[in-house]
Amino acid sequence: MYKIAVYAICKNEEKFIERFVDSVKEADGIYILDTGSTDKSVDKFRSLGVHVESAKIDPWRFDVARNKSLEMVPNDIDICICIDIDEVMEVGWREKLENAWKSNTTRARYNYNWLLDDKGNPLVNFYSDKIHARHGYKWTHPVHEILTYIGDKNEEYIVIDNLTINHYPDREKSRSGYLPLLELSVKEFPEDDRNMHYLGREYMYYGRWNECIDTLIKHLNLKTATWKDERSASMRFIARSYVNLGRLDEARMWLDKAIEETPYLRDPYVERAMLEFNSENYDKVIYYCNKALEIKDHAKSYINEIFSWNNTIYDILSIAYYYTGDIENANKNIDIAISMDPSDERLKNNKIIYNS
């Protein structure tokens, strides 16, 4: 029905290549831009019949590399799929894509598992949208690059819930280049709320607490910073920075702001509970954990924290109940925590302590 091409950028991905190619082999063409591999990536791709070109991107920018890889795709292709080499498309994706795509479609959202546990269960799941028409798009921003529509007609999205791409990241790869690229991105686009948020978050990852706070306050003050989930995350990251600076009252204030911003998300309630847990304020731990558990909807968003949906709530809630003398509820919650992770010996030992 349609001509479909997969395109990607690559640097030293030899160990993932066979898995990657096997998952995208339903495409009419696979186009890889190698940006300086020193392993056998290029030879590996060519041995599997993949079209590979090499280019040096200096200074390095992800958007430039993505655009050069897109240029490799022939003009008569109908649908492009941009995917990374450490990602895997689930079997049967082509039929699902062709059945959903319409003549006026320009872009598709699909189910994306950014992080899975050892059993293949999604831990971080959201919609991604890197499937698009061949023409009318370009990549922008030096890092955390986005696909930007430049067509002369309306952009038309579809959602394909049963098309899934799984991410299996290489934990050994450094992300040291992200920070300077994010600083460059904010310099180029100072009013871009998304990258201002990412830059503040990156400062947090590096333990640069004051820069994190200053940058995320800038994010919150931008007129375009209207997505409540992301605003709430900025507030939580500010709070984390204040915790690390030993300024707990300010951390509480920002977590309360996050709760007010997104009362429908578990994350700020759980972070508030964790703060109170570390301060041994167990009555407040019980309050905030139970407020979090009232929220049943796990939104498809990269903003969601793993600790809001694993057994963390039940773990700290059981301890809080134990220290407040409520053994019945301590046992109830530790049992749930253990059921979610039967291999955790600490949880099992806690249950023994509760009943000794």
Task: Fill in the amino acid letter for 22.
Answer: D
Mean pLDDT on 207-215: 98
pLDDT tens digits, residue range 83-126? 999 999 999 999 999 999 999 999 999 999 999 988 888 989 99
Give domain limits for the chain. Answer: 4-103+129-154, 178-309
List of residues 6+ apart from 74 with CB closer than 8 A: 5, 29
pLDDT band for 299, please (50, 70, 90 cuts).
Answer: confident
Kindly report the pTM of this predicted structure: 0.92
Q: What is the mean pLDDT of residues 8-32?
A: 97
pLDDT at 173: 77
* pLDDT per position as a tens digit, 213-264: 999 999 999 999 999 999 999 999 999 999 999 999 999 999 999 999 999 9
pLDDT of the residue at 169: 87
Phi and psi at 6, nearest 5°, equal: -105, 135
For residue 336, pLDDT beyond 90: yes
CATH number of 4-103+129-154: 3.90.550.10
- Percent of the chain whose predicted confidence (pLDDT) is above 70: 100
pLDDT in tens, 40-63: 999 999 999 999 999 999 999 999
CA 331/CA 350 separation, integer angstroms: 9
178-309 classified as CATH 1.25.40.10: yes
- In three-state secondary structure terms, 211 is helix
pLDDT at residue 333 in the model: 98
For the stretch 128-173, pLDDT in tens is 999 999 999 999 999 999 999 999 999 999 999 999 999 998 877 7
- Distance from C-alpha of 237 to C-alpha of 228, rounded to nearest angstrom: 14
**pLDDT class for 341, splitting at 50, 70, 90?**
very high
